[in-house]
Amino acid sequence: MPPQPPPAALTKPHKPYFYYGRRKPTQNRPTVQGGLFSNRQSVNPQKLRHRDGPDSANQPFDLQKWDPDERINQRISSAKDPSEKLFSLAKNLSPIARYIVDAFRKHKQWSPPLIEELNRLRRVTPTLVAEVLKFPDVDPKLSSKFFHWAGKQKGYRHDFGCYNAFAYFLNRANHFRAADQVPELMHAQGKPPTEKQFEILIRMHADASRGLRVHYVYEKMKKFGVKPRVFLYNRIIDALVKTNHLDLAMSVYDDFKNNGLIEENVTFMILIKGLCKSGRMDEVFDLLNKMRKNLCKPDVFAYTAMIKVLVSEGNLDGCLKIWKEMKIDGVDPDVMAYSTLVMALCKGNRVEKGYELFKEMKERKCLIDRAIYGFLIEAYVADGRIGSACDLLKDLIDSGYRADLAIYNSLIEGLCNAKLVDRAYKLFQITIQEDLLPDFCTVNPILVVYAESKRMKDFCKLLEQMEKLKFSVSDDLLKFFSSMVEKEGRVMVALEVFEHLKANKYLSVPIYNILMEALLKNGEKNNALSLFQELNDLDLVPDSSTYSNAILCYVEVGEVEKACTCYNKLQEMSSEPSIAAYQSLVKALFGIGEIDAAMMLMRDCLANVTSGPLEFKYTLTIIHVCKLNDAKKVIEVINEMVEQGCTPDEAIYSGIIYGMCEHGTIEEGRKVFLNMRDCKYISEADVIVYDEMLIDHMKKKTADLVLSGLKFFGLESKLKAKGCRILTG
């Protein structure tokens, strides 16, 4: 007889349980170790394998196929699966902590089902609560609710580790203000906070550069009657100094002394560096005297730190005073101290004092870095003392150093400024011989001197040599002409150089643009237009900058039709002129009474330019306000525009005339101009001119309406038969 199954009442109910340690794999449970839980939804281990294939580990490394972003991309792809991410982070947790974290992942909010799962745990320990709070990938609201839920369990009390983990968790979730209330929570739950809890808060705020929060926590310490140690005082003062709250740091230092604590070297140096940064040198020397009395005289590293702080603030006088104090204390400066001060003096145009320290270094047989030579040479060149700079170059080479390209560039520039271009060219040849790879900064001073002295043969030879050295001559010529036209009085020199370069076919549209813009700024409009016409005669194709410059030139000489032709060519090229060209063309069209065309240009500008002129934007606002047919409203818009720093111009006048003729009346338009006269925005003569333009534009609008009506009713042919003619704009 086959065995009978046991009764249903005797079967044990299935309970969730956990596996500790390793287990033997079976067909139903293929996982040997790891995984989340045995009786919950597990992670597919196949997803966690390397995605490059089974043989990727045996393949040799190929630098050409190496992808520096491979690990980042793998992290991004793995982050797409929440289960994989949870598995990778939670594998180091204890089983019960994994159970809680996985419950958070499943429910995603604090709800009765989540509480029911948590209630299955027989007891919760403070160590377990701290472990869950330290887990990074959990919703802050759930962790906070869990912390308070655990505190309400029977026979449970948070320990210091729980409170510390809770504070760290709140700070990690950017709830640092809530973290500051943890001491009050501890006190309310019968666990008075100690110095450790406040130290955690201070360290978190100090690392995040929240100086005022550090002081807030310090004041809270005093309320709880907790006295910091010297180490924690140093931490508080340092955080306040680094966040530029020096006065608060000095007040904390006063409390430090009132508590009877003895300063350390670190305490003094933190305050001294803060005072040096603020330039309060008298207080610095008082603290130095206290250090000497406390038998903790500053060493060379402390003095070097003070000098670095003063150098960063540009306080060279303070640097020299600290240097004297260092000599008074009998502290021998090291190479770092010398280098810091010499470089600062060279940058601060005190090369003589820097050279004195340089000679002192040589007398003491200190190791002089090449950077010190470089700073001294650059300072001498800036001071116009090229002879001293060349002597330092000789000293540099005699000392066994090899000058770098920056030193040669500085000397070449100094020689060219002294009109010693031949010696500068020899240095350029030296840079080639030493394989220093000269750049544009090396040859530009020589080119400028050749251009000014009209040595065009040497100029062209240098360009040929630059081509042999694989310079980008076209780009370097652009930089050359840009540097030439930026300096006053060199525009015509640049034009002469350009005339000589035409024979060598060093031509490009950007060079034409640079010269046209420079000639226009210099008032040479006709020369700029001649360049534009010359460019059109060549095979070169003008670009948007070329046509923009041409528009400005044509408007300046009064040829508005040609300027409009250039604008139309830009439209054919699907390009846009510059904002200056838009503004100039709008003013020109307003001057000849073409109000509609000016308005079309302003709309096109605002539609195609990212940040259009402010007056164009206010023009559209004025047109919108003109629909109210109220002059006062228009004046309010104009006053607002003036408060924004934008004065009324032709664009605004065009908007007033267009808006009043389109939506308002002539009377209200006249009131607007009269009010602008009273506000001294325009003169009496302008009122007369704009009034005539207002009437003429209204006539054009009326004529357009009449002609449109005749065309609509088919009466145009009868009107032509009578010999009448209607003029249109």
The predicted-structure confidence for 581-617, as pLDDT tens digits, reads as follows: 999 999 999 988 888 899 999 999 998 888 889 999 9
Cα 619 to the center of its chain, rounded Å = 33
Q: How far apart are the C-alpha atoms of 613 and 605, rounded to whole Å?
A: 9
DSSP 8-state class, residue 165: H
| 373 in any annotated domain | no
At residue 343 the predicted structure's pLDDT band, cuts being 50, 70 and 90, is: very high
> Which long-range contacts link 112-120 to residues 24+ away (Cβ below 8 Å)?
114/142, 115/149, 118/146, 118/149, 120/16
| 658 in any annotated domain | yes
| 670 in any annotated domain | yes
pLDDT(81) > 80:
no
| 253 in any annotated domain | no
How many domains does the chain divide into? Answer: 1
Integer angstrom CA distances of residue 471 from 49, 157, 432, 464, 716: 51, 76, 13, 10, 70
| 99 in any annotated domain | no
The predicted-structure confidence for 677-709, as pLDDT tens digits, reads as follows: 998 889 999 989 998 998 888 888 777 665 665
Q: How far apart are the C-alpha atoms of 402 and 400, rounded to whole Å?
A: 7
Place of tokens 């043969």: 457
pLDDT(305) > 60:
yes
Instruction: Give which of 190, 254, 189, 183 is closest to 221, Cα–Cα.
Output: 183
Q: How far apart are the C-alpha atoms of 18 and 175, rounded to whole Å?
A: 35
Residue 555, phi-psi category: left (phi > 0), alpha (psi -120 to 50), beta (remainder): alpha
Q: How far apart are the C-alpha atoms of 358 and 1, rounded to whole Å?
A: 110
Place of tokens 């070329």: 546
Span 715-729, average pLDDT: 47
pLDDT value at residue 666? 87
Span 544-551, average pLDDT: 92
Residue pair 586/602 in contact (Cβ under 8 Å)? The answer is yes
pLDDT(117) > 60:
yes
The predicted-structure confidence for 367-405, as pLDDT tens digits, reads as follows: 888 999 999 999 999 998 999 999 999 999 998 889 999
Residue pair 86/105 in contact (Cβ under 8 Å)? The answer is yes
pLDDT value at residue 53? 46
pLDDT(48) > 60:
no
At residue 67 the predicted structure's pLDDT band, cuts being 50, 70 and 90, is: low
pLDDT(62) > 80:
no
Q: How far apart are the C-alpha atoms of 55 and 57, rounded to whole Å?
A: 6
What angle, 0 to 180 degrees and rounded to 10, lies between the N-to-C axes of helices 614-625 and 595-608?
120
Using a 10 angstrom Cβ sphere, with 0-12 exposed, 13-18 middle and 19 or more buried, the burial of residue 721 is exposed
Residue 118, phi-psi category: left (phi > 0), alpha (psi -120 to 50), beta (remainder): alpha
Span 33-51, average pLDDT: 45
Kindly report the average pLDDT of the chain as a whole number: 84
pLDDT(515) > 70:
yes
pLDDT value at residue 79? 47
| 277 in any annotated domain | no
pLDDT(479) > 60:
yes
| 191 in any annotated domain | no
pLDDT value at residue 201? 94
Q: The domain containing residue 625 runs over which residues?
A: 584-721
Instruction: Give which of 434, 482, 443, 475 is closest to 461, Cα–Cα.
Output: 443
Q: How far apart are the C-alpha atoms of 190 and 356, rounded to whole Å?
A: 68
Non-local (6+) Cβ contacts of 666 within 8 A are 660, 694, 695, 698
pLDDT value at residue 32? 44
pLDDT value at residue 342? 93
Instruction: Give which of 248, 306, 301, 252 is closest to 277, Cα–Cα.
Output: 306
Token reading at 557: 């000489």
Integer angstrom CA distances of residue 386 from 357, 391, 428: 20, 9, 16
Q: How far apart are the C-alpha atoms of 350 and 342, rounded to whole Å?
A: 9
Non-local (6+) Cβ contacts of 210 within 8 A are 176, 243
At residue 61 the predicted structure's pLDDT band, cuts being 50, 70 and 90, is: low
Residue 593, phi-psi category: left (phi > 0), alpha (psi -120 to 50), beta (remainder): left
The alpha helices in 208-349, defined as continuous H runs, are: 211-223, 230-242, 246-258, 265-278, 281-293, 300-312, 316-328, 335-347
The predicted-structure confidence for 642-673, as pLDDT tens digits, reads as follows: 998 888 999 999 999 988 888 888 898 899 99
Span 311-333, average pLDDT: 91
Question: In this prediction, what percent of the chain has a pLDDT beyond 70?
Answer: 84
| 338 in any annotated domain | no
**Ranges 34-48, 569-583, 670-684: which has the least confidence:** 34-48
Span 466-486, average pLDDT: 90
Q: How far apart are the C-alpha atoms of 179 and 185, rounded to whole Å?
A: 10
At residue 121 the predicted structure's pLDDT band, cuts being 50, 70 and 90, is: confident
Instruction: Give which of 252, 260, 325 is closest to 289, Cα–Cα.
Output: 325
pLDDT(35) > 50:
no
pLDDT(272) > 80:
yes
- Helices and strands, counts by H and E, the chain: 39, 0
Token reading at 680: 């001294």
